[in-house]
A and B are shown apart, each in its own frame.
Chain A
Amino acid sequence: MGEHEARGWIRCDETAKQMLSRVLGDRAFLLLPPLHRVPLRAGNVVEITGSSPTAKTQILIQAAITCILPKTWNGVHYGGLEKLVLFLDLDCRFDVLRLSDMLKHRLLEAYRIGNGAWWQLEESNVKTQDKSKIVYDEELYVSCMKRFLYLRCYDSLELLSTLKTLHYRIRPQEACGSQVGVLMIDSIGAFHWTDRLSSSLALDKNNRKSLSLTNVVETIVQEMKKLMQVHSLVVIATKATIYEEKCPTNENNGKLSSNNAMPGNASSKAQQPPFREFMPSSWQAFVTHKIFMRKSGDYQSSGQQSLSAYSLEWLQPQLSSIDRFIVDDSGIVIVS
């Protein structure tokens, strides 16, 4: 090697500061409420587990709205990411009206706050006629709804074909400027039993991959990894627990163990997951963040009827605090 080449090889491409600013700009941290306790980056896979019903889909919708809103529009700050959301509905129960209502609420709220009319937020709960005076921006609403892409899959083969062809089919939407921000899967364990059944029907085993549960999930994980290499996206998947909790733990148990003087006791209680894991190990290794949701009694809000409250616990990374929230018209409201 000549001297010039050697010097060129030693000379750096960019400084650490330049690299950090590039990476943070490209793959920025996402703070999606109510998952705001842990900032998420592109490449993270979040799994939300809970029995049914525990507001898992509501969390997805809330996160989707934060993703599709723009940062600012016409001088009003919305604090969104302006990215596409891909929603794969395996439960086939999604209600688009709920998404639309929550989006309208957010637009109205941000508009009022932006225009200094925040004091009207409380009053509008009582006087519904006032809402018609403050109209949300229709064009903004339409552009946000267009960033939400939805598809239903009725079995694993459809899911596999969707994942394989996703990259090519998203290209026309991406060409309009927006990137993909989040890939959401509602109920990853939806085809668990049918796939388990087909593994017992596997015929010719030589050299042929049977359509078994492990193979299907492995291929799903493979395809998602390839997608994450090309698009910088976060994957959020909900999972409904299929097996009944043998020993139901509640919040008081958790608090007691954290206050316990014996550290060994607390750590052993923390390591034991409160639900029975049924997804194959390839999926478990793919998941980087885990959340557990459960019902946590009723919440008496002022003057109105009692709503059921749910609690959200981060299992990975393990956080000691548990968020408690209720679901009302405008979305998820954190209570304590």
Chain B
Amino acid sequence: MAPLKHLEMENSIIDECFRDFCASHGILTVEDFLLHDLYELAAFAEREANADRLKEGITVMLSLIELQCRPWLNGMELLEDLQRNKHTLSSGDNGMNSLLQGGYGEGQLTELVGPSSSGKTQFCMRAAASVAEKQEGSVFYIDTGNSFSARRIAQFICGGSDAAALRKRVLSRISCHTVYDIYTMFDTLQGLEVALRSQVQMNVNEYRLRLLVVDSISSTITPILGGSGSQGTCP
């Protein structure tokens, strides 16, 4: 929640009397500003002595909010973005590729659902091996059930003349993190987000993260929700 006085440094119009006027209507932060009716606020500003300056302040606030918003994209721009940035990653298995029409889509969340021992972890490891080897990207593997096996991933990597060195390179791109509860999961994911943001700023493109695998998400959430029924005990 950003208090209004932090904006004064860059926008001199958000001065003491503007902030006092806002505070008299219960607006102390930018979020409060969003919850209020701006036309009503402008009508109140009319009654004050420095009406023009206050209304100018409101306009400046609105333009600051506009800067923070995402741009509206039209259909053609969306398609271009899809073709340029969002490629499909091969899952390593031809059957899965044909089912997903190419592979796992970048920017999309693919959910593998099934009863226990139906092969979900095998698919996860196959995908990790395929992305690390063929797509030259790094993999972030979150494991909640101790089912990650580096040996099994090594078996997925195609051999060649330089098998051992290739295996070492590929396996070094997969980072495995064990979490057993939802709070550690949140911490890990937030740490990942911070790391990715700093990576973008430094433009380190060598092995950028291309795949995030969570195996499995239900084992961290069901202890929290509990109760009967798939929706848990929501009141």
Binding site for B on A (CB under 8 A): 86, 96-97, 99-100, 142, 144-153, 157-158, 160-162, 164-165, 168-170, 173, 207-209, 211, 215-216, 219, 222, 226, 242-244
Question: A242–B75 contact, CB under 8 A?
Answer: no
B28: contacting residue among A144, A169, A170, A208, CB under 8 A = A208
B234: contacting residue among A207, A222, A243, CB under 8 A = A243
Question: A164–B76 contact, CB under 8 A?
Answer: no
Question: CA–CA, A162 to B69, complex, Å?
Answer: 6
Measured between beta carbons, the chain B residues less than 8 angstroms from A173 are 72
Question: A96–B28 contact, CB under 8 A?
Answer: no
Type the 1/0 row for B23-56, where 1 means its CB is closer than 8 Å to any CB of A. Answer: 0011010011011111100000000000000000
B75: contacting residue among A86, A150, A161, A165, CB under 8 A = A150
Measured between beta carbons, the chain B residues less than 8 angstroms from A144 are 75
Give chain A nearest CB distance to B78 CB in angstroms.
4
Give chain A nearest CB distance to B58 CB in angstroms.
11
The interface-forming segment of B60-68, B89-97, B114-122, B173-181 is: B60-68
Question: CA–CA, A173 to B28, complex, Å?
Answer: 34
Question: A208–B65 contact, CB under 8 A?
Answer: no
Known: A150-B78, A243-B234. A164 touches B62 (CB 8 A): yes
> Does B192 lie at the interface of the complex (its beta carbon under 8 Å from any beta carbon of A)?
no
Question: B74–A146 contact, CB under 8 A?
Answer: yes
Known: A165-B66, A244-B230. A208 touches B26 (CB 8 A): yes
> Does B99 lie at the interface of the complex (its beta carbon under 8 Å from any beta carbon of A)?
no
Question: CA–CA, A5 to B82, complex, Å?
Answer: 65
Known: A164-B38, A208-B26, A209-B35. A100 touches B70 (CB 8 A): no
Question: B31–A211 contact, CB under 8 A?
Answer: yes
- Most central of A149, A170, A219 by chain B CB within 10 Å: A149
B35: contacting residue among A97, A146, A160, A226, CB under 8 A = A160
Known: A149-B72, A150-B73, A161-B68. A208 touches B79 (CB 8 A): no
Measured between beta carbons, the chain A residues less than 8 angstroms from B38 are 164
Nearest CB to that of B30 among chain A residues? A157
Measured between beta carbons, the chain A residues less than 8 angstroms from B234 are 242-243
Give chain B nearest CB distance to A319 CB in angstroms.
29
- The dominant DSSP class at the A interface is helix
Question: CA–CA, A100 to B229, complex, Å?
Answer: 38
Give chain A nearest CB distance to B88 CB in angstroms.
11
Measured between beta carbons, the chain A residues less than 8 angstroms from B76 are 142, 145-146
**Chain B residues bordering chain A, tally (CB within 8 A):** 30
Give chain A nearest CB distance to B156 CB in angstroms.
29
Measured between beta carbons, the chain A residues less than 8 angstroms from B65 are 161, 164-165
> Does B231 lie at the interface of the complex (its beta carbon under 8 Å from any beta carbon of A)?
yes
Give chain A nearest CB distance to B83 CB in angstroms.
10
Measured between beta carbons, the chain B residues less than 8 angstroms from A148 are 74-75
Give chain A nearest CB distance to B36 CB in angstroms.
7
Type the 1/0 row for B2-42, where 1 means its CB is closer than 8 Å to any CB of A. Answer: 00000000000000000000000110100110111111000
Give chain A nearest CB distance to B99 CB in angstroms.
14
Measured between beta carbons, the chain B residues less than 8 angstroms from A169 are 66, 69, 72
Measured between beta carbons, the chain A residues less than 8 angstroms from B82 are 96-97
Give chain A nearest CB distance to B75 CB in angstroms.
3
Known: A168-B66, A244-B229. A216 touches B35 (CB 8 A): yes
Question: CA–CA, A161 to B31, complex, Å?
Answer: 9
Give chain A nearest CB distance to B56 CB in angstroms.
16
Question: CA–CA, A244 to B232, complex, Å?
Answer: 9
Nearest CB to that of A210 among chain B residues? B35
Measured between beta carbons, the chain A residues less than 8 angstroms from B69 are 158, 161-162, 165, 169
Nearest CB to that of B40 among chain A residues? A222
Measured between beta carbons, the chain B residues less than 8 angstroms from A207 are 25-26
Measured between beta carbons, the chain B residues less than 8 angstroms from A211 are 31, 35
Question: A208–B32 contact, CB under 8 A?
Answer: yes
Known: A96-B82, A242-B231, A244-B231. A209 touches B75 (CB 8 A): no
